[in-house]
Amino acid sequence: MRMKTRRAYLALSGLLAVVTSANAADARPNFLVIVADDLGFSDVGAFGGEIDTPNLDALAYSGLRLTGFHSAPTCSPTRSMLMSGSDNHVAGLGSMAELLAPNQKGQPGFEGYLRPDIAPLPERLRDAGYTTIMSGKWHLGTTPETDPSQRGFEHSFALLQGGHNHFGLGLSTDPSKGGYTYRRDGKTLDALPADFYSSDSFTDELLRFMSESAGNGKPFFAYLAFTAPHWPMQAPTSDIAKYHGRYDRGFDELREARLRRQVELGLLDPSVIAHAPTLKSGAWNELSAEQRAEQARLMEIYAAMVDRLDRNVGRVVDYLRRTNQFDNTVIVFMADNGAEGIDLRAGTIPRMRALVDAADNRLDNLGAASSYLSYGPGWAQAATAPSWLYKAYTTEGGTRVPAFIEFAGLKRQRAISPVFGTVADVLPTLVELAGLPPPTSTFEGRTVRPVRGTSWVPYLAQNTERVHPPSEAVGWELFGARALRAGDWKAVHLFDGDWQLFDLARDPGETRDLSAAEPKRLGRLVSDWDRYAKDVGVILPNEAVYRP
């Protein structure tokens, strides 16, 4: 297998250059996939933000910034697409396990965990001779059989649930009884370090696994899945102090500043009309003084969480440079969905509201381990602008995420790419870069679910100008919200509303509904969505489970 894959790797049409690395016995590239949780499109400096993110910025500027990269509308569906290379309904996360409608429970594609007939990315790479390691959020199953140690990761430190206390409070050894459960190499932990903080500890564990496997002559696939900046907004006091007063002028002004910066960076055409934010509590100047003080504090904490995430990315990059592996490592960075706009104070999910009510959310305690709040739709829509809405919606604001790929062997680098792509493309891309044949319906003698993503390798090699042809229809569905994209045209259906039609080439903010002007085009896209839904097994919920 090693000689076969090595020959295939060397034949990748000039895309790659074999470079000296610590993996002297196997010159195939290493892979590092980093996922941020609920990170907004413009939160990172290289994408228009003011938060201090020098490590991510350096990688993004030296690599290929992807401004047309799309996820699912929420976290576990996206992670299932990342691991499977397919649609979330195919992979078992047709909806989040925590938010299944009555008619979806027990149905194929809605298992709430990564299906056993999926051949996940780490398993494919492990069986091809890669060392496979992960640290961070799993959210693809809580049973021993669905643990990352059983899905291809040789070493893993995993938070099983979708969110947690960032300082490690609420530890549970039984995920069926609430709390937060962690496993290391499949073994449930009954204690965490006294100084546990999510971004630091996940990085500590990843670096430990990388160090322990160093020198084994094998390339590695490393998956670092942060839970920052997912709520609750919690960060070390010193990090929060760095941003004191930074956001006192509010989310309306931040939104305008972010839009201006995107134009300056060449990420946004100045002629683009940004979608107006939806603010149930009103604009900044409509909030009371007490509300503004709390909101500013929450954004300070959020910025601190992103800042600390960045510093931990820097730790991993430093390790790769010290061990002479950086130039032979393909780094993929992405967020798992659009920025989170939920207001936990006004939330309708009882278990979330109970955590808010039990917390100490006094202004001077916000950010501590005993606090529990989110930052709300104002800041979220500052981060997703010019796009429409945020996490949980099938609009661009819910699915267009910051992403980049950095690798010394790329022909396309130090550039911005607006081409459309999805998280399902990561698996076939890395499989091809590893020199493996394209995925088929069988793997290691068993029948597996099909890969629906497309490899980016021809595009990265400058052999094509698109990843997905204009004729290809790509669909989304979550909580009953739907969307279908073909080329630059997109049809959107939000819950109980009507289908709307947008020309993203001229209106990326989804501000002008063209359904009345282009009824035939809309009809074709809706028919395409119906075919997509049948193909992947969509079951629309029979009640409103979640509508933020």
Active site residues: 75, 139
Decide: 346 and 263 in contact? Cβ < 8 Å.
no
Which contacts of 512-518 are long-range, i.e. CB under 8 A and separated by 24 or more positions?
512/273
Q: How many CB atoms lie within 10 A of CB 347?
A: 16
Q: Cβ-count burial of 397 within 10 angstroms (0-12 exposed, 13-18 middle, 19+ buried)?
A: buried
First to last CA, the chain: 49
Q: Is the preceding peptide bond at 229 cis, omega within 30 degrees of 0?
A: yes
The answer to whether 183 touches 160, Cβ cutoff 8 Å, is yes
Residue 278 structure tokens: 């939806």
Q: Which helix (H) or strand (E) holds 56?
A: helix 54-62
Token pair of 55 as six digits = 């490590």
Residue 50 gets which letter from DSSP? Answer: -
**DSSP string of 428-451?**
HHHHHHTTPPPP-SEETTEE-PPP
Instruction: Choose among 123, 149, 140: nearest CA to 175.
Output: 140
Q: And the tokens for 232?
A: 């609750």
Torsion angle of alpha carbons 138, 140, 144, 145, nearest 10°? -140
Other beta carbons within 10 Å of 185: 14
Contact at 8 Å (CB) between 299 and 247? yes
In terms of residues, how long is the chain?
Answer: 548
CA 481 vs CA 2, 268, 457: distances in Å: 45, 27, 32
> Where do runs of H (alpha helix) occur along 250-323?
251-264, 289-322
**CB under 8 A, 24+ apart: contacts of 169-174:** 169/369, 169/370
SS3 for 223? strand
For residue 37, the SS3 value is: coil
CB 254, CB 261: distance < 8 Å? no
Residue 124 CA to residue 443 CA, distance in Å, equals 8
Phi, psi of 35 (to 5 degrees): -120, 125
